[in-house]
Structure 1
Amino acid sequence: MNFEYSQKSKDVQTKLKDFIEEHIVPVEAEFHAFQQNPENLWKRWPKTEGLKQKAKETGLWNLFLPEDYGSLSPGLTNLEYAPLAEIMGKRIWICELFNCSAPDTGNMEVLAKYGSDAQKGRWLTPLMDGEIRSAFLMTEPQVASSDATNIETSIVLEGDEYVINGRKWWSSGAMDPHCKVAIVMGKTDPKAPRHQQQSMILVPMDTPGLKIIRPLSVLGFYDSPEGHAEIELKNVRVPKENLILGEGRGFEIAQGRLGPGRIHHCMRLVGMAQYALELMCQRTLEREAFGKKFYDFSSMRQEIAKAQCDIEQARLLTLSAADKMDKKGNKEAKDLIAMIKIVAPNMAMGVIDSAIQILGGKGVGPDTQLAHYYAIARMLRLADGPDEVHMYQLGKSCIKKYGNS
């Protein structure tokens, strides 16, 4: 691949950085103070909508969508979007301001690629306009959801409606007060071939029978206001037109959804690690111990050198995966996608841990985002498939290339 970004991507990167410096940096401390106040749990920061409107007017909107959606998207490729995800990853909370937050990004991609005209009109349009948020309900507490064929939630056709019963957890986005719709994965035919049992269906959050049991924290962080939830679905009825693409197409949709999403996650992780690297470099210039500046200690320099190497390796590997996805499609890029999903979270955890160690007490406290970013990186070793699943499939693929069986 050509590691030079396109001029289109460079232009958007410059515009994004300028917007952050002008509109976000001046209010960042205010945002974090709002978030750290327990009284504001599950409340939206009052300036969110105003900043979203400014971003939309600037053309920094729906940056992730790979196709041209007119004025609502610049039509960037995965490779062109990747550095933008890194920039936003340094301040992970800002993704929503550009309508680039998970799980909305994946849900919008699903609707754009697989949704009917009616589904797009009712849900995709307001999502792309940033008027509503959405949730994704796949993981279940009673089964090992790393193998999605285990998922037990039932989706049964009765007349003109599907009836849904089951329990979900780690339902991303479900706690947001603006969350209006969920994409639910469940079984429509338990007797079908293994990968044709699952389907995806749209469920409005105010549907009778859908009940939020509790919010879930990630290593103590609630990620308010969107958060994660445990949800009960008890005789939830929705029109049969809410089924996406058709019965038994859930795995097909999931694969189309997860490829780009993993690029987004991994480049955001690169951004978080870059944030950590910058903090530790600054700290070595500020602090002294035993009569020497931190930067004069060989151990400090070695940690920083290793962190920079690890970040650059993960960055280039992720860009390579994005490039292959653009040129060959998700299926051909599956090995690279598995590699980045293994490498990026572990890299970010290592770099963030080094930054915490160098910053000392400040690194574990509320004055930086290191503790929160560490929690996110650790969670992403599980989300979108745990390391072990990706290594199992990648190892199998590698053996097939070089073995005879």
Structure 2
Amino acid sequence: MKNVVDRFMHYVTFDTQSDSENQTCPSTPGQMVLAEELRKELITVGLSDVSLDDNGYLMATLPSNVDYDVPTIGFIAHMDTAPDESGKNVKPQLVKDYQGGSILLGTSGEQLTPEQYPELETLVGHDLITTDGTTLLGADNKAGIAEIITALDVLMDNPDISHGDIRICFTPDEEVGRGADHFDVNKFGAEWAYTIDGGQIGELEYENFNASSAKVICHGVSVHPGTAKDKLVNSMLIAAQFQLMMPKEETPECTEGYEGFYHLTSIKSGIATTELNYIIRDFERSGLEQRKVFMQDKVDELNNILSKGSVTLEISDSYFNMKEMVEPHPHIIEFAKQAMEECHIAPVIKPIRGGTDGARLSFMGLPCPNVFTGGYNFHGIHEFISINGMKQSVEVITKIAEKTALQQL
């Protein structure tokens, strides 16, 4: 089991942040560097059918060790880290036998406190890995990669644990919403799969947001300020008007559970043109459609009151709630739930307030719920992971494989 930590500590040294502005796949060269390193490792540990394509999708197989038919299942993780914080020169620090209280993050002046992150109170006695306060950690999702490979190691070292064919895939660009763009479901060949991309210990998720992105383009007129009287139209002021028309209580920081939101993610501003980029989220398809209509109504309303300048809206769908594709196959959830319980882990079944590769893969014919890694506070400098949780994730992966095989007897 110590290999799961060694692997993780090695993988986080690779800078694999994805880049939404670059349309190549993978969007950054570091992802392919890690993919090649992982390809060599998968061959070394003894997996078969190891393949790495030009888009950075790495697949491999652990062949069945039983002489009867068992469904082929898969486990999936992504190699990229989020663009929200730097993933370069990650310097993880080990906190052994955490006894509560604040954790200083290197010499950065940053710290983890139970007041800000109350989940720390549930991890007393755990060994933790944190950042040094200057980068993200990369547990999302290099922990998932380490856990999957280690689980297959466990299965190979313990041939008495029955399992069918197991397929794995490590994908690029999940963090910029493109992780399933070039995923070859037919080549993967699994009947269902699990993304190992969740957070707290026990998480089991098969519901996620329906998601769209929206671009509000505010059009003004640029004129030299010295001769701007009655001519200049500042698009940034129009953009400010629009944002003030959006419901302030329906934002990520004001919502939880099954509540949806509008989230202003970035602004590209100038006198002549300003772009407001939003993501729109709702657990119901009808709710997502209502949110799209609301934004268009606000654009129309603003255009009607503007004496100069104008506003346009562009909306595109990103992914949908996997629930409608997973629920018809309840055994997929039941295997994972029972696996956790047999590993003495209380399943925490709740919706994902976000998305995974599994959301899109489920609509591509590969039902794909999400299982925990043991990580917390993804996408920021306060990210950390429980080593105990990583080991428990390995146990759950191996148990899912075993239960899938034994269920066929």
User: Could you state the TM-score of these two structures normalised by the residue count of structure 1?
Assistant: 0.28
- Higher strand proportion, which one? 2
Greater RCO (CA < 8 Å, at least 6 residues apart): 2
Greater CA radius of gyration, 1 or 2? 2
User: Could you state the TM-score of these two structures normalised by the residue count of structure 2?
Assistant: 0.27
